[in-house]
Structure 1
């Protein structure tokens, strides 16, 4: 398992490498989908930090606050220390998720993270759960297909 900032740096650099720089909003959603896909394929969490249920979907607060200086702009500056200590298979899961996610506009990623049977909806509860931690068991349920 890894800290969210380490994974965020990797995703930012991968998107720049693919000539598809992303915004902080896109980064947050891609990180959530990476967590879901990694759980689905390996039955293990990749990111150790807790996701929070914010208005526009799941958020990793430390990552959000680090990159909020960019506002809604794309992040063009590569990050240092972005290598992940993962097997080729595990890295492939992440890369595939990034590659399919960057094809979608930011607001489509937001909608996708708001799946009616997903972990965010169950936690956010029309705003009553705003900023609450999304429980791991709900993320696992969504990842393993019981929430979709």
Structure 2
């Protein structure tokens, strides 16, 4: 019974994180904890005199993941990105900031240290995506391969391979 339970847990882990437990990561490890990175994004947003809602944060995190895969050949975070009706969502991050609803997130700062290239990449994404109307941002993610494919095949998760195909081509 314990062997069966262990095998089941291993299968779930592989499905959620696209990893083989005990054999290391697939070709792209996640560099940061998604919740810590989200807090850093919020801190950068506030430092630049802007605001961000949870819906916007989810989309920004999705684009950060794609750009990290493209520019640095590693994932920004290991958490799976889910295919929700309003676009890509990192569930752990969503849970942390869900209490804000549609209102801007007004939490404190972050002590996460990014290297200069990573922070520059994130700032560029923030400036570009937060200029957009939130519903245009949702529509943009809906038109892109990763969300579109997961939605078409009714997969609750956006695959790393679709992220790579879309962002790294």
TM range (shorter): 0.7 to 0.9
3-state DSSP of counterpart to 1:29: helix
What is the root-mean-square deviation of aligned Cα atoms in Å? 1.5
Distance 1:129 1:3 in 2: 27
2:161 — aligned with what?
137
Q: Does structure 1 residue 23 correspond to structure 2 residue 53? A: yes
Matches within 5 A, 1:1-148: 1-79=31-109, 82-116=110-144, 118-125=145-152, 129=154, 132-145=156-169
**Structure 2 gap segments, 5+ residues each:** 1-30
Deviation at 1:108, TM superposition (A): 1.4
Moved over 4 A (4+): none
Report the TM-score when normalising by structure 2. 0.77
Higher CA-based Rg: 2
Pairwise CA distance, 1:112: 1.4
Greater relative contact order (CA < 8 Å, ≥ 6 in sequence): 1
Normalising to structure 1: TM-score of the pair? 0.87
1:84 deviates by 3.1
Residues 85-109 of structure 1 deviation map (CA, whole Å, 9 limit, x = unaligned): 3321122111111121111121111
